[in-house]
């Protein structure tokens, strides 16, 4: 290998290392911080109750959408709950974790009565989706 | 002195062969393609699959960094899950080190960048040997390396599909191994192990398929029986080493899938037009599009016809590309190659045929490399005196421009598809155990990433396979470890880590300590007897005071890791003592880890987790006899299946739902294509309704159902939009994945079934209340 090609190879390795370093720096410096606000204890309780009040209707709709399929019903309920939680978090300008934590706290605060559930049906994905 | 085109060619060829320069080019292209993902590093992908898959990586990383343990058990998902036995986790891959160093979220785009570089470099090595031109291989490498599917996978959280980019390394390694090089065997074993560890649910079986074909291609290309024989020995040793090297993951996976088999039905298909759009159309600016999901720059594909000049070399990739496209058409093609592939073990769980466009793109890129190489050779063969008059140099210059433009389009398509990602702010750092002790929440699989940030497990689970879960898991317990009989004493958590839970128990009488997590045979305790308490992790204890230390030490994970270590030691031995020769002696060495595996299987004892077949409504699928009020039917079909009885309610329940049960018995082999039809014809003029289902209870194809047992097939339908009136329930069998024809049979009276169906009952749908009727 001539000196020119050796230099070219070294330059190549240098560029390769620089690209790698650029990827590392960019990945480690990018930030998407969550909203800093938190729910007050009172609001947390309100949010938990609001979700609990919706649960019976979400579950009724899930039973109609997936009759006789318990996992799919719970999954459909989960989709409705998640949408509500995200919307509620946006509305109140708080992280989604705050809303989900409020739901969790409400579930722990008193015995859960049917049709509400503190359980989830074992995972049984449907055999086809097409 | 050489004319300018020749000089330029020589220069370009030299540059292509220099690893440093080549990697610089690939790294720069990869950086440009992954710039947007890198910009979003640290954010949380809010797509549902990303929530699930990323939370696995998050959990594994947390297990290593917070608790100093290997990620064997994941208590945060599905009420507790064997991390190595879950096919889609990436925690058994060396890439976990990057996650632990940088954090699981920032590591993802970095891994994406690295995989892109690896994919291009791998393709270069493969194609250079196959087409015989470094420059041709270099030109086509970014077409495969920056294929659209990787960007799509990134966008929806399927980073494990980046494993497809290692396909060229597998094929390159296979060829080298067949040529007797240990390095080839090491690459094949290492890449398969990496792919399995990286959650390659599609890359592994598809890779195995193409490795087998590549082995055949290489064997065919060898001349002489002696060379072929030695190649066969070398490939045999490679296969054995690969099996051993993958044991750390393969054993847990096989064990788990046996206890919780996945059923995949349906007849997915894509028309030729859809496939062409997926492959050739530039994705939409927003990234939200099916077209372009597997994008391969069409301009560069224009070089493929030139490969005809080297038709012998072009034949294999051309045939393979065509077969892959045929496969990608799924059930839209007749006959369906994808349907045939699904009859094979493992391949039966493949869901999306269009993913075969990835290998199709690979072989098309090989043809582009070959076409480009043909052009370069033509230029080279032009006598120096005629260079100015020949049009070949001009064609080569145009081809170079086309290739470079093709790279640009690949980068652009990649960028567009990566816009699909729904990045939201990260939920923040995970609290310390002391600050916020672990507990199960009811959870939500659509938002699983948020629960990990709360140090809460999500019982709600949305995996692609039926995870063994206890119905007794709860998300509202005051404490996660408790006694079955609360009056029998007290239980107090002393220490909690993912793989080890310590509880002090004072029992006034014999009792069972319950842990709010799923049982798995890998859980061990020196104190008491570990049991599955309706699927919940439990320890049977005698009266007295106990310190129960539950440890997760799965035989398959630990034993499998030992077998894999032996396999790598074996490869080291072959390199050291056998000078890298992959002959009969190497086969002997490669067999040793597998023999050790066999000994472990025979000698070590661990309870076997058995699949418990349940209907979607949670009722058991096996019964000894139909209930007394079921209607006996006694129909026998022309395939060895009997419809024994049926339960059909006279009317829907208060919510308008009809819950039906059919009792089946399978007495012999049944084709997989056979499914069940349930037609519910109503009054004249009413809409036709059905409850067809190709899979019994969502659990068994008739082809795979246990023989000579009574199978209880429960299913339900909603009558929400049904017209009022009486409806018959007509049941029969049909070729659900075939031509759609019905299968005949005979009734209990021995007479042929009219229209090949059995009348299982009748029901009456009442008129809807006024408020529910449509205006």
Q: What DSSP line would sit under B410-423, residue for residue?
A: HHHHHHHHHTT--E
3-state helix, strand, coil in chain A (%, to 5): 70, 0, 30
Averaged over B321-349, what is the pLDDT?
Answer: 93
Picking from B768, B276, B248, the residue whose alpha carbon sits closest to that of residue B558 is B248
Determine the length of chain A.
130
pLDDT tens by residue, A58-77? 999 999 999 999 999 999 99
- Strands B710-718 and B657-666 turn out to be antiparallel
Residues in Cβ contact with B331 at an 8 Å cutoff, skipping those fewer than 6 apart: B267, B268, B269, B338, B339, B353, B737
Q: Would the CB atoms of A12 and B659 count as touching at under 8 Å?
A: no
Determine the length of chain B.
775
Rounded to whole angstroms, how far apart are CA atoms B100 and B110?
13
Interface check B714 vs A, CB under 8 A = yes
CB–CB of B284/B352 below 8 Å? no
Burial class (CB in 10 A: 0-12, 13-18, 19+), B517: buried
Whether A49 and A101 share a structural domain: yes
Instruction: Pick the residue from chain B with its C-alpha nearest to A31.
Output: B42
CB–CB of B524/B553 below 8 Å? yes
Check residue B1 and give its pLDDT. 52
Residues in Cβ contact with A92 at an 8 Å cutoff, skipping those fewer than 6 apart: A37, A39, A43, A47, A98, A99
Q: Which of residues 40-69 of A touch B (CB under 8 A)?
A: 60, 63-65, 67-69
Q: Would the CB atoms of B446 and A108 count as touching at under 8 Å?
A: no
Whether A45 and A21 share a structural domain: no
Rounded to whole angstroms, how far apart are CA atoms B211 and B233?
16
Averaged over A6-14, what is the pLDDT?
Answer: 94
Residues in Cβ contact with B155 at an 8 Å cutoff, skipping those fewer than 6 apart: B45, B47, B287, B417, B418, B419, B420, B421
Parent domain of A86: 41-109
Using 50, 70 and 90 to split pLDDT, how confident is the model at A127? Answer: confident
Nearest-CA distance B86 → chain A (Å):
13
Check residue B685 and give its pLDDT. 85
Nearest-CA distance A112 → chain B (Å):
8
Q: Which of B14, B20, B616 lies at the smallest CB-CB distance from A68?
A: B616
Whether A27 and A45 share a structural domain: no
Instruction: Pick the residue from chain B with its C-alpha nearest to A129.
Output: B266
pLDDT tens by residue, B232-276? 999 999 999 999 999 999 999 999 998 888 888 888 999 999 999
Instruction: Pick the residue from chain A with its C-alpha nearest to B264.
Output: A127
Rounded to whole angstroms, how far apart are CA atoms B397 and A57?
67
Using 50, 70 and 90 to split pLDDT, how confident is the model at A50? Answer: very high
Q: Is B631 helix (H, G, I), strand (E, B) or coil?
A: strand
Whether A57 and A25 share a structural domain: no
CATH number of B439-449+458-552: 2.60.220
Whether A46 and A78 share a structural domain: yes
Averaged over B572-596, what is the pLDDT?
Answer: 93
For residue B324, CA distances in Å to B104, B220, B264, B329, B463 come to 34, 21, 20, 9, 28
Whether A45 and A24 share a structural domain: no
Is the pLDDT confidence value at B775 over 60? Answer: no
Chain B residues whose beta carbon lies within 8 Å of the beta carbon of residue A81: 444, 446
Q: Would the CB atoms of A120 and B447 count as touching at under 8 Å?
A: no
Q: Is residue A65 part of a domain?
A: yes
In DSSP terms, B483 is beta-bridged to: B513
Whether A103 and A45 share a structural domain: yes
Using 50, 70 and 90 to split pLDDT, how confident is the model at B348? Answer: confident
**B335 prior amide bond cis, ω within 30:** yes
Mean pLDDT, rounded, of chain B: 93
Rounded to whole angstroms, how far apart are CA atoms B572 and B563?
14
Q: Which of A9, A68, A96 lies at the smallest CB-CB distance from B447?
A: A96
Q: Is residue A128 part of a domain?
A: no
Whether A28 and A75 share a structural domain: no
Rounded to whole angstroms, how far apart are CA atoms B156 and B151?
9
Using 50, 70 and 90 to split pLDDT, how confident is the model at B703? Answer: very high
Question: What six digits make up the tokens of B509?
Answer: 């009488």
How many structural domains is chain A composed of?
2
Angle ∠(B11,B17,B18) on CA atoms, nearest 5: 95
Instruction: Name the residue with tokens 């049709």.
Output: A115
Rounded to whole angstroms, how far apart are CA atoms B28 and B151?
16
B770 or B478, which is more confident: B478
Q: How many alpha carbons fall within 13 Å on the CB side of residue B473?
A: 31
Could you give the residue range(s) of every CATH 2.60.40.770 domain in chain B?
622-772
Range B622-772 classified under CATH 2.60.40.770: yes
Is the pLDDT confidence value at B632 over 90? Answer: yes
Whether A46 and A63 share a structural domain: yes
Q: Is residue A123 part of a domain?
A: no
For residue A84, CA distances in Å to A24, A60, A89, A91, B238 come to 36, 16, 8, 10, 53
Using 50, 70 and 90 to split pLDDT, how confident is the model at B600? Answer: very high
B175 or B9, which is more confident: B175
Check residue B770 and give its pLDDT. 67
Averaged over B693-706, what is the pLDDT?
Answer: 92
Whether A50 and A71 share a structural domain: yes
Whether A26 and A58 share a structural domain: no
Nearest-CA distance A79 → chain B (Å):
6
Question: What six digits make up the tokens of A46?
Answer: 């309100």
Chain B residues whose beta carbon lies within 8 Å of the beta carbon of residue A122: 461, 466-471, 535, 614, 618
Q: Would the CB atoms of B476 and A108 count as touching at under 8 Å?
A: yes
Mean pLDDT, rounded, of chain A: 93
B481 or B739, which is more confident: B481
Q: Would the CB atoms of B14 and A5 count as touching at under 8 Å?
A: yes
pLDDT tens by residue, B116-163? 999 999 999 999 999 999 999 999 999 999 999 999 999 999 999 999
Interface check B268 vs A, CB under 8 A = yes
Rounded to whole angstroms, how far apart are CA atoms B445 and B613?
23
Using 50, 70 and 90 to split pLDDT, how confident is the model at B684? Answer: confident
Interface check B565 vs A, CB under 8 A = no
Whether A95 and A55 share a structural domain: yes
Could you give the residue range(s) of every CATH 2.60.220 domain in chain B?
439-449+458-552
Averaged over B193-211, what is the pLDDT?
Answer: 95
Q: Is residue A87 part of a domain?
A: yes
Does the predicted interface ipTM exceed a cut of 0.90? Answer: yes
Instruction: Name the residue with tokens 């945060």.
Output: B76
């Amino acid at each position: 290998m001539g000196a020119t090609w050796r230099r070219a190879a070294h330059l190549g390795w240098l560029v390769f290392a620089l690209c790698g370093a650029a990827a590392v720096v960019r990945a480690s410096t990018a930030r998407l911080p969550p909203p800093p606000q938190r729910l007050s204890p009172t609001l947390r309780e309100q949010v938990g109750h609001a979700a609990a009040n919706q649960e019976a209707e979400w579950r009724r709709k899930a039973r109609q959408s997936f009759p006789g399929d318990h996992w799919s019903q719970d999954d459909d309920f989960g989709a409705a709950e998640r949408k509500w939680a995200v919307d509620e978090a946006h509305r109140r300008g708080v992280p989604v974790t705050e809303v989900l934590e409020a739901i969790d706290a409400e579930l722990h605060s008193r015995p859960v009565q049917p049709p509400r559930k503190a359980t989830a049906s074992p995972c049984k994905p449907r055999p086809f989706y097409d | 002195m050489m004319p300018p085109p020749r000089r330029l060619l020589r220069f370009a060829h030299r540059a292509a062969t220099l690893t440093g320069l080549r990697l610089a080019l690939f790294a720069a292209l990869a950086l440009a393609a992954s710039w947007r993902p890198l910009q979003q590093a640290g954010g949380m992908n809010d797509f549902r699959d990303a929530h699930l898959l990323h939370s696995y990586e998050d959990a594994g990383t947390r297990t290593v960094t917070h608790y100093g343990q290997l990620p064997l058990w994941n208590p945060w998902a599905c009420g507790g899950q064997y991390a190595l036995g879950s096919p889609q986790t990436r925690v058994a891959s060396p890439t976990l080190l990057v996650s632990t160093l940088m954090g699981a979220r920032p590591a993802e785009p970095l891994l994406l960048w690295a995989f892109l570089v690896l994919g291009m470099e791998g393709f270069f090595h493969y194609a250079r040997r196959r087409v015989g031109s470094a420059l041709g291989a270099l030109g086509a490498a970014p077409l495969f390396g920056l294929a659209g599917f990787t960007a799509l996978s990134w966008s929806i959280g399927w980073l494990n599909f980046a494993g497809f980019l290692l396909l060229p390394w597998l094929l390159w390694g296979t060829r080298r191994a067949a040529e007797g090089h240990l390095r080839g065997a090491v690459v094949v074993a290492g890449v398969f192990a990496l792919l399995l560890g990286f959650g390659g649910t599609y890359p592994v079986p598809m890779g195995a398929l193409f490795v087998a074909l590549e082995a055949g291609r290489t064997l065919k290309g060898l001349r002489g029986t002696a060379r072929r024989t030695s190649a066969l020995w070398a490939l045999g040793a490679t296969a054995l080493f690969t099996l051993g090297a993958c044991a750390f993951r393969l054993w847990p996976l096989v064990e788990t899938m046996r206890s919780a088999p996945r059923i995949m039905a349906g007849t997915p298909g894509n028309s030729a037009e859809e496939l062409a759009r997926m492959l050739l159309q530039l994705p939409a600016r927003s990234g939200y599009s099916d077209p372009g999901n597997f994008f391969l720059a069409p301009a560069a594909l224009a070089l493929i016809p030139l490969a005809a000049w080297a038709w012998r070399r072009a034949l294999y990739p051309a045939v393979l590309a065509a077969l892959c496209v045929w496969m990608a058409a799924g059930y839209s093609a007749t006959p369906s190659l994808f349907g045939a592939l699904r009859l094979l073990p493992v391949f039966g769980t493949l869901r999306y045929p269009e993913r075969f466009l990835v290998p199709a793109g690979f072989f098309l890129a090989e043809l582009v490399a070959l076409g480009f190489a043909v052009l370069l050779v033509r230029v080279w063969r032009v006598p120096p005196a005629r260079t100015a008059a020949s049009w070949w140099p001009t064609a080569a210059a145009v081809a170079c421009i086309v290739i470079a433009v093709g790279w640009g389009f690949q980068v652009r398509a990649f960028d567009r598809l990566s816009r699909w990602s729904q990045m939201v702010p990260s939920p923040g750092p995970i609290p310390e155990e002391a600050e916020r002790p672990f507990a199960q929440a009811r959870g939500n699989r659509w938002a699983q990433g948020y629960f990990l940030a709360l140090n809460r497990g999500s019982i709600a689970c949305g995996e692609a396979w039926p995870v063994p879960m206890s119905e007794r898991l709860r998300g509202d317990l005051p404490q996660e470890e408790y006694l079955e009989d609360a009056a029998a004493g007290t239980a107090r958590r002393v220490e909690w880590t993912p793989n080890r839970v310590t509880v002090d128990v004072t029992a006034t009488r014999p009792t069972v300590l319950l842990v709010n997590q799923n049982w798995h045979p890998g859980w061990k305790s020196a104190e008491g007897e570990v049991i599955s308490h309706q699927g919940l992790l439990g320890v049977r204890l005698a009266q007295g005071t106990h310190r129960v230390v539950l440890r997760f030490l799965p035989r398959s994970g630990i034993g499998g890791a030992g077998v894999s270590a032996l396999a790598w030691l074996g490869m080291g031995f072959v390199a050291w003592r056998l000078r890298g020769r992959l002959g009969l002696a190497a086969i002997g060495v490669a067999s040793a880890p597998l023999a050790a595996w066999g000994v472990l299987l025979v000698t070590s004892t661990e309870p076997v987790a058995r699949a418990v077949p349940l209907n979607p409504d949670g009722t058991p699928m096996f019964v000894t006899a139909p209930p007394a009020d079921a209607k006996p039917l006694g129909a026998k079909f022309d395939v060895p299946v009997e419809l024994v009885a049926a339960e059909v309610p006279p009317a829907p329940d208060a919510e308008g739902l009809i819950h039906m049960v059919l009792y089946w018995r399978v007495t012999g082999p049944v084709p997989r294509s056979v499914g069940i039809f349930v037609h519910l014809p109503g009054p004249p003029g009413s809409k036709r309704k059905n409850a067809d289902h190709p899979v019994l209870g969502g659990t068994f194809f008739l082809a795979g159902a246990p023989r000579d047992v009574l199978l209880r097939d429960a299913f339900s339908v909603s009558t929400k939009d049904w017209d009022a009136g009486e409806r018959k329930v007509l049941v029969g069998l049909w070729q659900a994945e075939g031509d759609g024809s019905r299968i005949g049979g005979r009734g209990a009276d021995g007479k042929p079934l009219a229209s090949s169906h059995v009348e299982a009952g009748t029901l009456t749908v009442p008129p809807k209340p006024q408020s529910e009727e449509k205006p």
